[in-house]
Amino acid sequence: MANDAFEKIKSSFNRGITSISIKTSSSLEKGKINTYIDSLENEIKKIKYDLGEEVFRAYIEEDEDRDKINAFCSKIKESYDNIDEAKKEIEAIDERDRKIFGEEEKLRNSGAPMEEDSVIFCDKCGAKYEEKVNFCRKCGNKLF
């Protein structure tokens, strides 16, 4: 389930979609998985109740139905396994986001500055400008 979404998000990212939309799809995707986990947890509670009823019936009637009890237990086990898997999917989403945003952060801090925080040096006198200037204020050299 989450894998499809993962591929979708990955290809969106490759097409240059912003971090915000990745964060949004990640939290939507995680929301869906959490809802799924909740439903599994409710399912487990219900089966445990039925299991308890069955064990009590067996006690009263002195007629233990092992197969029935095993079937309840294996359903519970299956639901727990599905919860573990779903939690791993959430971790994978978080891990992927950490990677994506980590790469972005690295790019921002590396030698190649991004558009918004680029620095200009005058090639004549070496004066440094952090904002856009047309002429060097020190030597009058044309910068653009």
| Residues forming the site for Zn ion (CB under 5 A) | 122, 124-125, 127, 136, 138-139, 141
In angstroms, what CA-CA distances link 23 with 3, 40, 133?
16, 26, 35
Nearest 10 degrees: Cα torsion 89, 99, 8, 38: 20
Report residue 140 as tokens.
């009058």
Please report how close the Cβ of residue 129 comes to Zn ion at its closest, in angstroms: 9
Pairing of strands 128-129, 120-121: antiparallel
Looking at the Cβ atoms of 17 and 139, the one nearer to Zn ion is: 139
Looking at the Cβ atoms of 44 and 122, the one nearer to Zn ion is: 122
19 Cβ partners below 8 Å, 6+ apart?
100, 101, 104
Please report how close the Cβ of residue 111 comes to Zn ion at its closest, in angstroms: 22
47 Cβ partners below 8 Å, 6+ apart?
72, 75, 76, 79
Please report how close the Cβ of residue 136 comes to Zn ion at its closest, in angstroms: 3
Side-chain-side CA neighbours of 72 within 13 Å: the count stands at 16
Looking at the Cβ atoms of 28 and 133, the one nearer to Zn ion is: 133
Please report how close the Cβ of residue 133 comes to Zn ion at its closest, in angstroms: 10
Looking at the Cβ atoms of 76 and 122, the one nearer to Zn ion is: 122
Please report how close the Cβ of residue 139 comes to Zn ion at its closest, in angstroms: 3
Looking at the Cβ atoms of 46 and 142, the one nearer to Zn ion is: 142
